[in-house]
Amino acid sequence: MSDGIMQPDAPEELEGGTADLFSKFDPLIKMREGLLSTGQKDPFSLVMEKVLSPTRAICNGRDTILLGTYNYMGMTFDPQVIEAGHQAMRDFGTGTTGSRVLNGTYQGHKECEDALREFYAMDHAMVFSTGYLANLGIISTIAGKGDYIILDIDSHASIYDGCKLGDAEIVPFKHNDIEAMEKRLKRVPEGAGKLVILEGVYSMLGDVAPLKEMVRIAKEHGAMVLVDEAHSMGFIGENGRGVAELQGVMDDVDFIIGTFSKSVGTVGGFCVSNHPKFEIMRLVCRPYVFTASLPPAVVATAATSIRKLMQGSNKRAHLWENSRRLHSGLKELGFTLGTDEAQSAIIAVIMPDLEQGAAMWEALLEEGLYVNLARPPATPANMTLLRCSLCAEHSEEEVSTILDMFEAAGKATGII
């Protein structure tokens, strides 16, 4: 039993070493040492020695199939995209050395924003240096002290960090629970500003949000709605605009956040919106103003890739075939999966615990397959997951090979 709040916090007793600001990391250091001392290869320090294509790389000297890169549409080696990058680097140099609002807006940045406006058929587009900065910037700038942010509890770290930076009241609700969201919206004090934040696809389990109902309810309660479509751009919805498009609620979403580091195949982030005052964001959004803009080659590859994604319907169809096939194949093998059917291009395989998950991850790598190992606290319900993200460039044969590898590794580690 505690002595109560009258007692000051006692610093934790430490074994060996001097206590300093790094002492708070000791439990994590210990957990990591424990895992690696068993001879387990470190799942968080893999080096890709050579990248051969969107789906192949050399890891530890071995030809490896990549199944954990979020390179959904396989644009990273597209010849036209690469050529656009080469040309921009020759014409505009290697970097802008400046902020978007000073010397860092080149022709390429405007063309990239034009491509986004066209892709989403929206009035405004703002390009950030990363997807993380797009969430950080937009959320912290529009929702400030006294405003309320109602968000799904499984939201990405960049969303939570944006909430914290803006100092709004943060009110999470149970993952994808429509009723829990509505209850919280009803309880927001009258007159307070309200922002509902949702994701199209949640990256840990690869499940999709019931945006149709949630966006309707948010609007009924007078909230603005921001949807992060990082994991859906390019292949969900008729024009690849994401889950909001698929579920027919694009017109009611105030802000769509996205990234160039997944389907687009480079790096960067963006927000598109039809809000009539949106352009003022360029002057008041600190993560936009106080950082250097993207290099010319990056915005040129992004713009070219986005325009190609508008015509990507065949690739989209193949990506969906891959995703469904991997999902049903893994299910038949006896693995436990994050969703009952394939809802996106992410298939999450649930591991019994971190030790077995790490062992399975290593066994797969030895077979020649790279997947993402996700562990607490990044995962919902403290699960250990092997996350597979499919690419439109994975061939049918590759998906068969992947399933064989899962079978071999699963049996070797005793998971199936």
Partner 1 sequence: MDRADTDSRIREQIAPFNKKGVTITDGTTFQGDLEFDSLTVMDFVAAIEDEFDIIISMNQQAEIETYGQLVDAVHKQRPDAGTTA
Q: Which residues bind partner 1 (CB under 8 A)?
A: 1-5, 148, 153, 169-174, 180, 183-184, 187-188, 377, 381-382
Q: Which CB sits closer to partner 1, 170 or 292?
A: 170
Which member of 124, 156, 262, 315 is catalytic? 262
Which member of 194, 231, 308, 327 is catalytic? 231
Clarify whether 203 is annotated catalytic. Answer: yes
Which member of 155, 158, 203, 293 is catalytic? 203
CB of residue 325 to partner 1, shortest distance in Å? 33
CB of residue 162 to partner 1, shortest distance in Å? 13
CB of residue 187 to partner 1, shortest distance in Å? 5
Q: Which CB sits closer to partner 1, 136 or 188?
A: 188
CB of residue 160 to partner 1, shortest distance in Å? 9
Q: Which CB sits closer to partner 1, 178 or 403?
A: 178
CB of residue 18 to partner 1, shortest distance in Å? 25
Q: What is the three-state SS of the chain?
A: CCCCCCCCCCCCCCCCCCCCHHHHHHHHHHHHHHHHCCCCCCCCCCCEEEEEECCEEEECCEEEEECECCCCCCHHHCHHHHHHHHHHHHHHCCCCCCECCCCCCCHHHHHHHHHHHHHHCCCEEEEECCHHHHHHHHHHHHCCCCCEEEEECCCCHHHHHHHHHHCCEEEEECCCCHHHHHHHHHHCCCCCCEEEEEECEECCCCEECCHHHHHHHHHHCCCEEEEECCCCCCCCCCCCCCHHHHCCCHHHCCEEEEECCCCCCCCCEEEEECCCCHHHHHHHCHHHHCCECCCHHHHHHHHHHHHHHCCCHHHHHHHHHHHHHHHHHHHHHCCCECCCCCCCCEEEEEECCHHHHHHHHHHHHHHCEECEEECCCCCHHHCEEEEEECCCCCCHHHHHHHHHHHHHHHHHCCCC
Q: Which CB sits closer to partner 1, 148 or 288?
A: 148
Q: Which CB sits closer to partner 1, 175 or 282?
A: 175
Active site residues: 203, 231, 262
